[in-house]
């Protein structure tokens, strides 16, 4: 593998005055500089980053209280509000991937003993259940088949039955490819004094989202899917309703790192140090959001829809079928049924190693049954669909 181990050199004399038990060089390997293969990432994420996003990230870091950085923070917040269509003051990225932002919404939105109702119709619903329990919630679930959304009537019935303090739904279930319609859900929640939490990890930047019009109280996303930015910072937002609940807590937020009562002092006007911001990832996110704003939400959503429709038509022409009814299909992620007799994993492996294209396999209930094809952000273009379909044809019909 080109790894050269150094031998221990006893001849070196040290001028350090601290006691030195002798450096072991066992793990010291001499490597050539990093080389990364070029892949087309058409799986459930990460997606490829735009070249200008990578360039933005590769600048020198500056201090997290530098006036230039504080300006950049304000810009990121404004751009996130645009991307989500919200006026929420508390809108900022948290360090970590989408799961960290998921954790931030639950940690800040839940007090021990709260009843939390989670819509589980895929893998990420289960993750919400697991996390909410860890924050002391009394979790109830409403379930649907993997590949089906919840109807407004089902949600209303469950809200009446469980009387939760918080309802959590996944807008774009990346494990199934299903879009959860959200029109009217916020109304149902607020009539019952319940907050609405929504996972927008695979929808932000790729399909219509109107957080304020839908009266969503807590939402999170990630950087590496629809925004085409490397993973590591993740959008988080709270409505004034959710902030009011936060301010009335009887117990401190059980996660110090993601505590919005502390973080708001850094992201708000006080600028109080909390943790060192992931400076370079914030550069990258700013550029990714700038590109989104330059394109405009409407154009971007149209592009994603049209590119997905081209994929669906191409798959159908090859005799393949999609797992989800067209009405509820995500433009960002398509689940494709694996034909009988075909080894799903082997196909994905061959696409990666022979064609440099990554696609995803099925998760949970859909393991082995579907492939997951993502067309997100910088990859949502007709040329990428052509590249994938050509490669898929070669692999399936050699």
Ligand X SMILES: *Cc1c(COP(=O)(O)O)cnc(C)c1O
Task: Out of 136, 208, 231, 382, name the contact with ligand X by CB under 6 A.
Answer: 231
Q: Does 102 bind ligand X (CB under 6 A)?
A: yes
Task: Pick between residue 176 and residue 307 the one whose CB is nearest to ligand X.
Answer: 176
Task: Out of 99, 141, 143, 387, name the contact with ligand X by CB under 6 A.
Answer: 99
| Region binding ligand X by CB under 6 A among candidate stretches 96-104, 106-114, 267-275, 288-296 | 96-104
Instruction: List binders of ligand X among 202-221 (CB under 6 A).
Output: 202
| Region binding ligand X by CB under 6 A among candidate stretches 195-203, 210-218, 265-273, 299-307 | 195-203
Rounded Cα gap, residues 143 and 241, in angstroms: 27
| Region binding ligand X by CB under 6 A among candidate stretches 16-24, 149-157, 196-204, 352-360 | 196-204
Task: Pick between residue 185 and residue 395 the one whose CB is nearest to ligand X.
Answer: 185
Residue 372 counted as an annotated binding residue: yes
Task: Out of 43, 45, 95, 331, name the contact with ligand X by CB under 6 A.
Answer: 45
CB of 171 vs ligand X, minimal distance in Å: 8
CB of 120 vs ligand X, minimal distance in Å: 12
Instruction: List binders of ligand X among 110-129 (CB under 6 A).
Output: 124
**Which among 245, 251, 200 is positioned nearest to 84, based on CA atoms?**
200
Residue 62: strand, helix, or coil = coil
Task: Pick between residue 111 and residue 199 the one whose CB is nearest to ligand X.
Answer: 199
DSSP 273: -
Q: Are 123 and 153 in contact (CB under 8 A)?
A: no
Q: Does 170 bind ligand X (CB under 6 A)?
A: yes
Q: Are 300 and 83 in contact (CB under 8 A)?
A: no
Helices (H) and strands (E) counted in the chain, each on its own, are 12, 16
Task: Out of 222, 246, 279, 336, name the contact with ligand X by CB under 6 A.
Answer: 222
Rounded Cα gap, residues 298 and 378, in angstroms: 16
Q: Does 366 bind ligand X (CB under 6 A)?
A: no
CB of 361 vs ligand X, minimal distance in Å: 14
Rounded Cα gap, residues 259 and 131, in angstroms: 15
Render 17-35 in DSSP notation, one character per residue: -S-------TT-EE-PPP-
For 244, residues 6+ apart whose C-beta sits below 8 A from its C-beta are none
Task: Pick between residue 53 and residue 172 the one whose CB is nearest to ligand X.
Answer: 172
Terminal-residue alpha carbon distance, the chain = 32
CB of 53 vs ligand X, minimal distance in Å: 16
Q: Does 41 bind ligand X (CB under 6 A)?
A: no
With CB under 6 A as the rule, give the number of residues binding ligand X: 14
Q: Does 103 bind ligand X (CB under 6 A)?
A: no
CB of 205 vs ligand X, minimal distance in Å: 13
Task: Out of 77, 86, 97, 148, name the contact with ligand X by CB under 6 A.
Answer: 97
Using a 10 angstrom Cβ sphere, with 0-12 exposed, 13-18 middle and 19 or more buried, the burial of residue 326 is: exposed
Q: Where are the alpha helices (DSSP H) in the chain?
A: 51-57, 67-84, 98-109, 123-134, 152-162, 185-191, 240-247, 260-267, 279-295, 297-317, 344-355, 382-396
Q: Are 332 and 226 in contact (CB under 8 A)?
A: yes
In the annotated binding site for substrate, the residues are 372
**Contact footprint for ligand X (CB under 6 A):** 45, 97-99, 102, 124, 170, 172, 174, 199, 201-202, 222, 231
- Binding site per annotation, positions: 372
């Amino acid at each position: 593998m080109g790894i050269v181990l150094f031998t221990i050199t006893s001849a070196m004399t040290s001028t350090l005055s601290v006691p030195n038990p002798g450096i072991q060089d066992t793990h010291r390997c001499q490597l050539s500089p990093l080389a990364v293969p070029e892949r087309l990432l058409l799986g459930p994420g990460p997606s490829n980053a735009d070249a200008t996003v990578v360039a933005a990230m590769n600048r020198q870091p500056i201090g997290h209280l530098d006036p230039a950085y504080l300006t950049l923070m304000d810009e990121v917040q404004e751009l996130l509000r645009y991307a989500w269509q919200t006026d929420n003051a508390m809108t900022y990225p948290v360090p970590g991937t989408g799961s960290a932002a998921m954790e931030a919404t639950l940690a800040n939105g839940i007090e021990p003993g709260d009843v939390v109702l989670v819509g589980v119709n895929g893998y990420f619903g289960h993750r919400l259940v697991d996390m909410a329990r860890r924050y002391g919630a009394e979790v109830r679930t409403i379930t649907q088949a993997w590949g089906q959304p919840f109807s407004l009537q089902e949600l209303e019935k469950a809200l009446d039955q469980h009387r939760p303090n918080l309802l959590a739904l996944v807008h774009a279930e990346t494990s199934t490819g299903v879009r959860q319609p959200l029109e009217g859900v916020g109304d149902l929640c607020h009539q019952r004094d319940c907050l609405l939490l929504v996972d927008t990890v695979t929808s932000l930047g790729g399909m219509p989202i109107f957080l304020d019009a839908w009266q969503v109280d807590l939402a999170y996303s990630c950087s590496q899917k629809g925004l085409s930015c490397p993973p590591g910072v993740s959008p988080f937002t709270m409505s004034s309703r959710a902030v009011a609940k936060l301010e009335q807590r009887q117990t401190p937020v059980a996660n110090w790192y993601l505590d919005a009562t502390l973080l708001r002092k850094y992201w708000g006007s006080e600028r109080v140090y909390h943790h060192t911001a992931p400076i370079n990832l914030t550069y990258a996110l700013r550029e990714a959001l700038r590109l989104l704003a330059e394109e405009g939400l409407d154009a971007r959503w149209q592009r994603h829809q049209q590119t997905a429709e081209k994929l669906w038509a191409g798959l159908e022409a090859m005799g393949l079928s999609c797992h989800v009814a067209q009405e509820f299909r995500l433009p960002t992620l398509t689940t494709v049924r694996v034909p009988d007799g075909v080894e799903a994993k082997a196909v994905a492996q061959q696409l990666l190693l022979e064609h440099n294209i990554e696609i995803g396999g099925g998760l949970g209930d859909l393991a082995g049954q579907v492939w997951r094809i993502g067309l997100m952000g910088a990859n949502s273009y007709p040329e990428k669909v052509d590249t994938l379909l050509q490669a898929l044809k070669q692999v399936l019909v050699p």
